[in-house]
Structure 1
Amino acid sequence: MFRGVKIVLLFLFAITFSSSAQTTKRLNTGWEFVRQDLGGIWEAVRPVGKGNPEELPFWQAVNLPHCFNAIDAVDPDVNYYQGPGWYRTTIDVENPYANGRTLLHFEGAGQKTEVYIYTTKVAAHVGGYDEWTADITEAVAAFKKSPIFKTQFKGKIPVIIRCDNSRDLEMMPSSLSDFNVYGGIYRYLNLVYNPQLAIDKIFAHATVDAQGKQGKVSLKTRFFPTDITANAVVKISLIDPQGKSVFNASKTIDSFNGDISLDEIAIKSPKLWSTDLPQQYELRLSVDANGQTFNATQKIGFRNFEFVKKGPFMLNGKRLLLRGTHRHEDHAGVAAAMTEEMMVTEMKMMKEMGVNFIRLGHYQQSRIILNLCDSLGIVVWEEIPWCRGGLGGKIYQEQGKRMLTNMIEQHYNHPSIIIWGLGNENDWPGDFSEFDKEKIRTYMKELNNLSHQLDPSRSTAIRRCDFCRDIVDVYSPSIWAGWYRGVYTEYKDVSKAEFDKSDRFLHVEWGGDSHARRHSENPDNALMKIKTGGGADERAGDASLYGGGARVSKDGDWSESYIANLIDWHLKEQETMPWLSGTAYWPFKDFSTPIRPENPVPYVNQKGVVERDFTKKESYYIFQSYWTTQPMAHIYGHSWPVRWGADGEEKMVKVYSNCDEAELFINGKSYGIKKRNSQDFPAAGLRWAVPMQKGTYQIKVVAKKGKVVVTDEITQEYQTEKWGKPAKLVLQKIADENGLATIEVKAYDADGVLCLDAANEVRFNSVGDGELIKNQGTSTASAKVQLYNGRATVKLKTNAAKNVVSVSAIGLSTQFLVVEK
């Protein structure tokens, strides 16, 4: 263990293979799928796409990546499917290497997977998040000898895969976790051709001294099992970030078992990897044996980090305040099956928000994400899915150790990773009749020792398991000031008290839920009910919207306005905590969860700063105003069309900006210039009291940072009429573009006044040839959703036909709208 020792790591992640022949191909298209079990493998082995009206079950065409639960995860009327599903396709297999190996490389599939070539089972894997391979070489060769290979299958190889995400107490993660345990081939699947001798893993441990003057790469490799007897020549090159070769060597090896040490590479004054300048070197290996060549390239980085005992975090000898967030692999319409393009968009949005740290919750994530963290300069805490539920038996514990081993070995080279996470909320019982703290401590120690054995250079950490805080290197307690417990103004004091209990403190998970597009004129009203001084942790039942003591999560308005104040307070306080290593807001994006059916968007954890489809909430810009340097300014209320109050009442207009000063204009009139001061809450002093009368307001801000000028504008109505309880719903089409109609419902009282605080739950339906865009888990694409300020919208794909849309709410008459093509 390296407690208190400055360290540096190797980095990289994915190995990129290349040769004169094509060696890797994503198998994205040509698949069929059925979401149920089969009577036996024989039911899946007909040629794909032939069409047989007597065949049962009915298969549907899909592309990979694909998730069982793309839609039902957020369907308000069903529990999401947990069970088996089958995939099938036929592929061409022609390995260009004599006596080479043919593999199916899974980047992730949930949660238990079996692989068949025709009716021959060739591999099985348990665990939905680590990578693995199925060697199909012998099975393919055998099937090619079958007479049906050319007759029935026309020279193609039938591949059949069974995935299963059924509930299983002896499998991580627990179904009690606050996220869906998804099923399917929800990451990329690759066909790989290897020569006789091929590299399985590269371990490139890159270190640098505290002064950055001397770097070293300890290079090891592991080969796939082989029966080759000839010597092999390994050529090694290291290319610096500017493309200059800084090391070249050649080595002959005659043993291919175990981890083989290849070289110790010394680099004088290496160019360092950092969050501001994530410089990476490229390691190139070629292996020549029996006239065949295997090529591999991998990115690595040099950096030095330290969690100072009773102090902050240091990167390359300088303090770095970790400004972080979290990520679940989840997105509107696809669930876990995010494409590479989606992942790139998400990570770039994080970086543009100012993120320099991310905790990947709560499982090993895609190689694409880790590569993006390396290239964008985002420091990483990655963890295994030991999440809630307690501690299972031998099978359960072996899986945890296997997943930890796979995560470390597969992501060993990434310069971005600084922490291996061993668990989350392991003090949360529920899956097993026994809850034994000492047994949990024993297992945590085993994981901690295993992590340091596999990788002594990185830290270990857990979140929220106080009776294990002394075991790991870095500890994060539960602090939810202003949401599950307490008020947000207690944040600094509570954090300091927790900091004093730990040698190395890092606060991950803070924030609260916000229903996108809901705003409030008095967002902090709920705080008057909250008891203070009793801590700010999350306890059993706190996430529930029912019962228990007063808390904002139950008694607040779930408005963006409240969360804006909570986030604003946290961020301004973090600037005055010199001992703080950093924090991570939970999470970046709203995500699906099976345990929150009564949320404003059912089955969605709504704590994100963007919605499940990347739509930014107001809070995104608050982070930008504190964490970024590119000049920006954002008037609060882009999604708040109507404000309310008495005639002539002063209303606060807030601007979130990182500029030095800003001037506000209302309907063309200047309301003066304000100077930014991060400690002047709220909005860092960029707020104006504006008397408002009934009418329309054009609001503009002009902000300056040095010589750079940025502007922002919004239009708002101001309503002075008071309203009673909602008496009727009004449904209308407010937009129609490219065959996509936007339908809006509003709630009015008996006198026809818009009810701007109405939060009724409404349900949309449609009849006709069109398609209602629903079950996306967002505020504007859900069949069932709470109103935001007396309104809600949904979209209808008209399909150039006549449709009828309805909206209903308990106690109100159902309304209908005819939508013409």
Structure 2
Amino acid sequence: MYQKIILVVCFVFIQLKATIYSQVNHITTRTNINLTDWKFKKGIWYNAQKKDYNTNSWGNVKVPHTYSMDAIEKTGYYKGEAWYRTSIDVPQSMKNERIFIRFEGVGQEAQVYLNEKSLGKHIGGYSAFIYEITDVVEFNKKNLIAVKVTNEPNFKRIPVDDKLFNHYGGIYRPVQIFSTPKQNISPNYYASPGIFIEQQELSSQLATLEIKIHVSSSTKNKPSTLSYKVFDRENNLIISKNQLVSFSEKEQIVSQKLEIENPILWNGKMNPYLYKLEVELNHYGKIDKVIQAFGLRTFKVDPEKGFFLNDKPYRLNGVAIHQEWKDNGPALSNEQHQKDIDLIDEMGATSIRMSHYQHSDLQYQLADKKGLLVWAEIPFVHDYSGREQGNAKQQLRELILQNYNHPSIYVWGLWNEVRAWKGKNAPPVLLTQDLNKLAHSLDKTRLTASASDRGMISNMGNISDLQAWNKYFGWYYGEYEDMGKWLDNARKEYPEIELGISEYGVGGNIYQQDVAKLEKPIGNYFPESVQTNYHEVTWKIIKDRPFVWSSYIWNMFDFSVAGWNRGGIQNLNHKGLVTFDRAIKKDAFYFYKANWNKEPMLYIAEQRNNIRTSSKTNVKIFTNINKVTLYLNGKKVRSLKQTADLNTIIFENINLTKGKNIIEVKGKIQKEIVAHKVIWELK
């Protein structure tokens, strides 16, 4: 039984009048330049970092950018090298300051050059990395930045294969150059914010915090002053404190205790309350300032009663997501990230599994603001080589340190569907043990988790604090109802183990509606209504078992898997509740919205099944309104009230007439009328 209470304080993005670097979860007074315009060429090109290299045949691209769109557009995709180059005039305002270049994500490896000098190589396609370039930049002339990128396989890098999702190549997240004073709140510590807030005690009367700040100096060490200010959500100053920093070493960690009286908790979607912390390092008038937000909360998991947030039961009704769109791959804009989180929030989910890798920092920030609890994880997925230990530990360290300060993140995911066929001493088992220890050494406030497709007891199982299972009853094996049997048997046989569902779902193609043609699980016909029915059955099973500490639909959005040829559309996993381009919300989306979102809604299922061959039909309604009235071709048929607990009303034996039929339903909440209309044609 895992009863440890977790106390966390975290940061989010806040829009203020300050210069920021995009999607980094803090705001600073630092001068910043976004590098968006690049020259690009796919292929192996020797010495492309040289200033006199001829790029006349190169194309022009905008970053964020990926060169792997062929993974979506056709079978197979290019796996290899490509180059990016750009030139920049470094402004005089950065002179006599420290200058850095930060990449938020490059898939999957990046060798970076500045003015022909190698700055370093980063291996891992999903985490940020940073280099100090103070001694390499030149003023009053162009500075050449060249980046050699590759997404070719590397068995020393996780993930070691792309069987479950595409490994896109390219500079697909923002790149910034920025400067700080010579004494700074260090941005160089694993590209993290440089500030970590640890909550040590929490009661209704008092929250005790320890703030740890990484500070750095590139000059002769003289004392500086650190000032701390805490503001509430209404921007009222509630704490002010100063501290002297001696800079006995060029790199050091400074800590400070702060106390908040009568704290207000970050309470999920009910009240995602955020405080604001302003930290200022003042060295003889040279100021480096970082502004962050943080939230206060506790959680625990009980094998009998499930998940608790702030000591109260809280259902983690979740979705898993990949970070890609049909026309952009993973190279997404801020608006697209916002759209994804808005859709998840609209459906009423309370949690997100951001699978199977570190996501854009902006998505974590948006989850903070929406009150969505997040399962964050590294790409230790499916297979292993036995040679990826170092890179897996690096990516876990980057994930935790770069995202330590998000209140939404409650768990660090260590692996997904990794199978240790060779026993308890197999490389992935030993690596998981090391990863679990590393996670707890870096963050004492959160849990670890893993997602298994094996049995309750396995070589990889139950090493992390929490275990969840990917279960696809009725799609790859068994029947829908077997989910309930499995959960009940597991609960009975292993009462001490917390039970979570890390994935569940089936395919659904909005262009396919004939249930008689279903070809599961790898055929070419996945009717949308089959997907809907699966979720109706499976959600009731999960809902009726409060001991299930989490459940995550696979997947919120359709996504690409190069080489797949299933469900009538190549290179696509159809299990999403929303289409790959985000244009269509499938019927199952509205089923969950009716059950998870309290805002009044009314939806007629099977609206795309609009060609009917039988005059007698049922009309299924997803709604959280108690009473609904059905109209056929403008005439009232009858009214029905909710009688089940799945917010579903079915009007049976409705007689259609030949030709077009207008089916409309209406409901009323107080004085508000909610309606939905579809047209079905009887042939």
Q: Give TM-score, length-normalised by structure 1.
A: 0.77
Give the aligned partner of residue 595 of structure 2: 626
Q: Retained in 2: the 8 A contact 1:251–1:262?
A: no
Cα displacement (A) at 1:116: 1.1
Distance 1:556 1:482 in 2: 17
More displaced, 610-619 or 276-285?
610-619
Q: Which runs of 5+ in 1 are unaligned?
A: 48-54, 145-149, 527-544, 546-551, 720-821
Residue 472 and residue 572 in structure 1: after superposition, are their counterparts in 2 closer, same or farther (change >3 A)? same
Q: Deviations over 1:2-53 (max 9, x none)?
A: 941222212125442432xx5122212x2111111212235x6349xxxxxx
Mapping for residues 292-311 of structure 1, pairs under 5 Å:
292-311=286-305
Mapping for residues 379-778 of structure 1, pairs under 5 Å:
379-393=373-387, 396-427=388-419, 438-464=426-452, 466-500=458-492, 501=494, 503-520=497-514, 522=515, 552-554=520-522, 557-615=525-583, 616-645=585-614, 648=615, 650-679=616-645, 684-719=648-683
Q: In the alignment, is residue 16 of structure 1 matched against residue 26 of structure 2? A: yes
Distance 2:95 2:27 in 1: 18
Give the aligned partner of residue 156 of structure 1: 142
Q: Quick one: which of 359, 362, 365 aligns to 1:365?
A: 359
More displaced, 222-231 or 330-339?
222-231
Mapping for residues 30-429 of structure 1, pairs under 5 Å:
30-41=37-48, 45-46=51-52, 55=54, 58-69=57-68, 71-76=69-74, 78-94=75-91, 96-97=93-94, 99-141=96-138, 144=139, 155-200=141-186, 201-206=194-199, 209=202, 212-224=204-216, 226-255=218-247, 260-275=253-268, 276-393=270-387, 396-427=388-419
Cα displacement (A) at 1:83: 0.7
Residue 515 and residue 718 in structure 1: after superposition, are their counterparts in 2 closer, same or farther (change >3 A)? same
Q: Deviations over 1:640-691 (max 9, x none)?
A: 331223xx4x2111111111121111112222212224446xx623443212
Q: Retained in 1: the 8 A contact 2:7–2:199?
A: yes
Cα displacement (A) at 1:92: 1.6
Residue 158 and residue 310 in structure 1: after superposition, are their counterparts in 2 closer, same or farther (change >3 A)? same
Greater RCO between the two (CA within 8 Å, min separation 6)?
2
Distance 2:423 2:136 in 1: 45
Cα displacement (A) at 1:373: 0.5
Matched residues, number: 656
Q: Retained in 2: the 8 A contact 1:519–1:640?
A: yes
**SS of 2:441 mapped into structure 1:** helix
**SS of 2:9 mapped into structure 1:** coil
Q: Deviations over 1:724-770 (max 9, x none)?
A: xxxxxxxxxxxxxxxxxxxxxxxxxxxxxxxxxxxxxxxxxxxxxxx
Residue 365 and residue 387 in structure 1: after superposition, are their counterparts in 2 closer, same or farther (change >3 A)? same
Distance 1:624 1:564 in 2: 13
Report the RMSD for the aligned CA atoms in angstroms. Answer: 2.2
Q: Deviations over 1:88-110 (max 9, x none)?
A: 11112125355321111111111
Cα displacement (A) at 1:410: 0.8
Q: Which residue type is aligned with residue 79 of structure 1?
A: G
Distance 2:366 2:201 in 1: 22
Q: Retained in 1: the 8 A contact 2:2–2:465?
A: yes
Q: Deviations over 1:132-182 (max 9, x none)?
A: 1122221213xx5xxxxx7xxxx2211111111111112111224410111
More displaced, 706-715 or 419-428?
706-715
Q: Retained in 1: the 8 A contact 2:300–2:308?
A: yes
Q: Deviations over 1:604-653 (max 9, x none)?
A: 111111111112222211110110011000111333331223xx4x2111
Q: Which residue type is aligned with residue 636 of structure 1?
A: A
Residue 248 and residue 677 in structure 1: after superposition, are their counterparts in 2 closer, same or farther (change >3 A)? farther
Q: Retained in 2: the 8 A contact 1:390–1:435?
A: no
Residue 437 and residue 556 in structure 1: after superposition, are their counterparts in 2 closer, same or farther (change >3 A)? farther
Distance 1:435 1:333 in 2: 43
Give the aligned partner of residue 791 of structure 1: none
Q: Which residue type is aligned with residue 487 of structure 1?
A: E
Cα displacement (A) at 1:386: 0.6
Residue 259 and residue 576 in structure 1: after superposition, are their counterparts in 2 closer, same or farther (change >3 A)? farther
Cα displacement (A) at 1:428: 7.2
**SS of 2:296 mapped into structure 1:** coil
**SS of 2:504 mapped into structure 1:** coil
Q: Which runs of 5+ in 2 are unaligned?
A: 13-23, 187-193
**SS of 1:374 mapped into structure 2:** helix
Cα displacement (A) at 1:597: 3.4
- Rg (Cα) greater in structure: 1
Q: Retained in 2: the 8 A contact 1:380–1:419?
A: yes
**SS of 2:66 mapped into structure 1:** coil
Q: Which residue type is aligned with residue 58 of structure 2?
A: W
Residue 56 and residue 494 in structure 1: after superposition, are their counterparts in 2 closer, same or farther (change >3 A)? same
Residue 446 and residue 60 in structure 1: after superposition, are their counterparts in 2 closer, same or farther (change >3 A)? same
Distance 1:225 1:640 in 2: 66
Q: Retained in 2: the 8 A contact 1:313–1:319?
A: yes
Give the aligned partner of residue 52 of structure 1: none
Residue 329 and residue 570 in structure 1: after superposition, are their counterparts in 2 closer, same or farther (change >3 A)? same
Q: Give TM-score, length-normalised by structure 2.
A: 0.92
